[in-house]
Structure 1
Amino acid sequence: KALKNGVAVEKPIYNHVTGLLDPPELIQPPKILVIEGLHPMFDERVRDLLDFSIYLDISNEVKFAWKIQRDMAERGHSLESIKASIEARKPDFDAFIDPQKQYADAVIEVLPTQLIPDDNEGKVLRVRLIMKEGVKYFSPVYLFDEGSTISWIPCGRKLTCSYPGIKFNYAPDSYFDHEVSVLEMDGQFDRLDELIYVESHLSNLSTKFYGEVTQQMLKHSDFPG
């Protein structure tokens, strides 16, 4: 609260090695303050200070696939130990982390693809951007026509699409009793530079210039998803 009011604060630093608090660091109030972590929306006192909030909601299936890839392939863990690790953390996740998504202004859901039957690798994803209506200074992104229900497969002559292709959906919906707009993409781009064609059909992107989304995707092409 002090930072939002323009007052510097001393922030304690938790040392993950020693389990103790290191000497605090002085934080000056910035023009834009980004808070990230596991519990930023859990405490109502903190929620009330947030101007805009985003929750990243990765499905159990995708998390499991990613954890197997990391822990089995890269760390040599057994499948049984991975399952046990996930189950041990689930009660705390369900109690303290998952409920926060109902308070978010935007939720990014990362789900298994529906284009590949029985896919369990988590390499091709379906991502839904759930945007709450009526948020101050925020206008939800829409595809073609705001408020309509649209299903779009841009593959054909416009994009380079190998199996399983790409599919977009856009529609109004409700989420935890809030009116929302949902933009969804399922599949993957063979050529990220061709995203510019899709970008040209999206509105309310809040970008600084035309093509910025495509530029950023190309810049971060090695990011997950």
Structure 2
Amino acid sequence: MAERGHSLESIKASIEARKPDFDAYIDPQKQYADAVIEVLPTRLIPDDNEGKYLRVRLIQKEGVKFFNPVYLFDEGSTISWIPCGRKLTCSYPGITLDELIYVESHLSNISTKFYGEVTQQMLKHADFPGSNNGTGLFQTIIGLKIRDLYEQLTSTKTGARLEATKA
């Protein structure tokens, strides 16, 4: 925020000015989305006036054909997780991109082609907006889910065409 020349007050004013359009056009679309990335102010730093750190949630719909939600550890788990301090050396709050592989290894159903693909993508695009917070991680995961969805849909259509030519 500050590095882009904006103050917290100007950001809040801009959000409030756009709220009627958001309420009328954007918010109603959430009910149709298979996944939503929600970005909120952090709860980790009291009186954070810079908005430098974010609280990010990935909300996923279950029961959607060809879309299998990502899970931390296992589907259906209730988790309170404090990562091992010997494996993550982070400045509070957050971790370095190099250490993302540790978090990635605890995610299930992320639709990667190989171990470490999420971390590789994050490192490859380290200068992209959101690459240093949860928004970039969730955008990367959703990108992999979209690729997986596309591949499933196109292979299903290809399979149907092959069956049609055999008949």
SS at match of 1:130: strand
After superposition, residues 54-69 of structure 1 pair within 5 angstroms as: 66=1
User: Which residue number corresponds to residue 213 of structure 1?
Assistant: 118
The Cα of 1:118 is off from its aligned counterpart by: 2.2
After superposition, residues 34-73 of structure 1 pair within 5 angstroms as: 66=1, 70=4, 72=6
1:199–1:211 CA contact under 8 A, matched in 2: yes
Call closer, same or farther: CA 1:209–1:83 in 2, change over 3 Å: closer
Call closer, same or farther: CA 1:128–1:153 in 2, change over 3 Å: same
After superposition, residues 8-157 of structure 1 pair within 5 angstroms as: 66=1, 70=4, 72=6, 84-157=13-86
- Give the number of aligned pairs: 130
> More helix by proportion, 1 or 2?
2
> What is the identity, as a one-letter code, of the residue corresponding to 1:212?
E
User: What's the % identity of the aligned pairs?
Assistant: 85
Give me the TM-score of the superposition, normalised by structure 1.
0.52
User: Which residue number corresponds to residue 178 of structure 1?
Assistant: none
Gaps of 5+ in 1: 1-65, 74-78, 165-187
Give me the TM-score of the superposition, normalised by structure 2.
0.68
Instruction: Measure the CA separation in 1 of the matches of 2:103 and 2:14.
Output: 40
User: Which residue number corresponds to residue 193 of structure 1?
Assistant: 98
CA RMSD for the aligned pairs? 2.3
The Cα of 1:69 is off from its aligned counterpart by: 5.3
> What is the identity, as a one-letter code, of the residue corresponding to 1:119?
D
Gaps of 5+ in 2: 131-167
Structure with larger RCO (C-alpha < 8 A, sep 6+) = 2
Instruction: Measure the CA separation in 1 of the matches of 2:85 and 2:109.
Output: 26
Runs of 4+ in 1 over 6 A off after TM superposition: none
Structure number, greater radius of gyration? 1
Call closer, same or farther: CA 1:193–1:69 in 2, change over 3 Å: closer
1:144–1:203 CA contact under 8 A, matched in 2: yes
> More strand by proportion, 1 or 2?
1
Cα deviation, 1:133-171, whole Å, max 9, x if unaligned, reads 10111111111221011021215111112223xxxxxxx
SS at match of 1:150: coil
Instruction: Measure the CA separation in 1 of the matches of 2:5 and 2:43.
Output: 25
